[in-house]
Structure 1
Amino acid sequence: METVSIRRAHKNDASSIADVLERSQWFTYEKLFVKDYIQNLIDNYYNVERIQKEIVSISEEWHGYFIAEMNGLVVGVIGGGMTDGTCGEIYVLYLDPNIRGNGIGTRLLNFFTKIQKHTYGASEQWVAVAKGNDFGIPFYEARGFVFQYEELSYGTTKDDQDISLKYRRKI
């Protein structure tokens, strides 16, 4: 496999991040949700302008985006923040669908976990995974996350039928 580097995203990475996130949304959710719903998620959360703002708006609640880069191309993205004094959460972890299964997601998760643990003092980590996400659920379970409960996904209503499974692990 080619060399992969992981680093904090810069503002000029926003377009590449948006591209990975958009392709990942279609790959991951095309069988779970209707097209209009997926496109709405992309338009609202993964547009270049929002990503540019989120790259430079770093705080305890949002640590910014971190990317995996291969041959100068963004192939993976992770981001999250602290939900309270000792609880970190992953809000975004997606890979270019063409490079899944090469350990890049695990490297991104490990890198980000160290930041949450050593910079922000997290002792546990949470993630919300869409119910029926047959890519994300096994990934997180294999890395020690344990299912806790179901809830409506962030920014959705019952009509959307977007249910998140909340997972937690000690770090």
Structure 2
Amino acid sequence: MKPRAEHVSGIAHVCAKGWQQTVDGILSARYQKKNMAFWYNHDKVRTDITTGVYSHVAIVDGEVVGAIGGAKTEPERGDVFVLYVDEAYRYQGTGRRLLAALTEEQVANGASEQWVSVEKGNWRGIPFYEARGFELQGEQKKMTDTGEAHTNLNFRRVI
């Protein structure tokens, strides 16, 4: 389903918790708190829904249990910006269905390839994307504004 204003709190919660679980042990609690306050505050999530950053949500019993966002970033390229599923609903097809919905949109808009960046060491995300045909294209070393080094792995698949 397309996200709406009433999903702001649920999206913020699912994404903040999922991102925190992804970087726990990799990035400091200080950086995590700062990053979550920026990306997953309700005003930012509301704006990101309006601008299309969040493209689909999974709802169970009226609650957001998953969210995905992405866009066509080049004439033939679609990107996955964010995909998180509440831990109680993981491994039940929620993430797969969210990715399929985003992929269908991107293909309909002319994309023939899809990219995603995953934190190195993300033992949930890496196998998920590899199982769906994404192949490692390289890595990108980054430095946070708090001086912490980390690495993103860039994956691509033909769609």
Task: Report the TM range for the smaller structure's normalisation.
Answer: over 0.9
Q: CA RMSD in A?
A: 1.6
Provide the residue aligned with 2:131 in structure 1.
Answer: 142
Provide the residue aligned with 1:31 in structure 2.
Answer: 25
Provide the residue aligned with 1:167 in structure 2.
Answer: 155
Structure 2: runs of 5 or more not aligned = none
Provide the residue aligned with 1:3 in structure 2.
Answer: none
Task: For 1:10-21, list aligned pairs within 5 A.
Answer: 10-21=4-15
Task: For 1:104-143, list aligned pairs within 5 A.
Answer: 104-118=94-108, 120-143=109-132
Q: Tell whether 2:144 aligns with 1:156.
A: yes
3-state secondary structure, aligned to 2:74:
coil
Aligned 8 A contact 1:130 1:164 in 2: yes
State TM-score, norm by structure 1.
Answer: 0.87
Aligned 8 A contact 2:138 2:154 in 1: yes
Task: For 1:31-110, list aligned pairs within 5 A.
Answer: 31-58=25-52, 62=53, 64-110=54-100
Task: Give CA-to-partner distance per residue, 1:81-128, whole Å, 9 cap, x none.
Answer: 12210000000000101211111100110111001111x211000000
AA at the equivalent of 1:140: Y
Aligned 8 A contact 1:23 1:97 in 2: no
State TM-score, norm by structure 2.
Answer: 0.93
Aligned length: 159
AA at the equivalent of 2:150: D
How far apart are 1:158 and its partner, in Å?
Answer: 9.4
Distance 2:11 2:154 in 1: 25
Runs (4+) off by over 4 Å: none
